[in-house]
Structure 1
């Protein structure tokens, strides 16, 4: 009985540890996962799936370039000027608007409305997580 109890506790410990680890996905895997999620939530047809997949791939490639440029800047020890930060912010807003326009052209009106609602919910969740993170680290 004691061995069974120890085995059960070990299993629970391993299972809870495994759940605590965030899975590391490649950009392609993340995009595929997101396409599947959007397909389920928005009832995308095959043509829409292909278009959304391409949009996500393009967006991921641009994000990777920006991350690399930011990393190079950090490694060189130079900080962006206020003008560079403002230009970056404008570029990001323009990119977001362009992606929204592309999604609007891919989705029908009902799907687009639902997608925008999902985007807002995700933004709210991210804000909550940031608040929790800041509380924990202050």
Structure 2
């Protein structure tokens, strides 16, 4: 049974890792549209922003980065820029709700990792 669970988890991770930036952006935009009730103009702007970020992440992952600290800093800077642009697109209420959703997702990830997250 444990082998089956591990196999399914590996397959799910593999499917996520093989996703194109376009599919990643589309998937995230659809989830945000559902959760935040985006209008059509917001949906397009959020998709464009998500696509830009997905392309950057894909580029960063494709480069063999031996310096993990620099990679983390690059990812953090990209996330902060993404959040700043998103704040311009969303209403205040939508942005607050998005932040709450992000916090919940971080907590779920923390719980899945055993409560402590990754060591730095």
* Same fold, TM-score > 0.5, yes or no: yes
Paired position in structure 2 for 1:65? 59
2:15 and 2:73 mapped to 1: Cα distance? 30
Q: Residues 71-102 of structure 1: CA distance to partner in whole angstroms, max 9, x if unpaired?
A: xx5xxxxx43xxxx444333322222111100
Mapped partners of 1:49, 1:67: distance in 2: 26
Structure (1 or 2) with the greater helix fraction: 1
1:54 is matched with: 48
Aligned Cα root-mean-square deviation (Å): 2.5
TM-score computed with the length of structure 2 as normaliser: 0.74
Listed one character per residue, the Cα deviations across residues 18-43 of structure 1 (whole Å, up to 9, x for unaligned) are xx452825232232122111111101
After superposition, give the CA deviation of every residue in 1:35-75 in whole Å (9 maximum; x if it has no partner). Answer: 111111101000000011011111111111111113xx5xx
> How many aligned residue pairs are there?
105
Residue matched to 1:121: 104
* Cα 1:94–1:30 shift into 2, 3 Å: closer
Stretches (4+) displaced over 6 A = none
Is contact 2:57-2:75 (8 Å) kept? no
Residue 131 of structure 1 aligns to a residue whose secondary structure is coil
| 8 A contact 2:32–2:38 mirrored in 1 | yes
Q: Which stretches in structure 1 are left out of the alignment for 5+ residues?
A: 1-15, 74-78
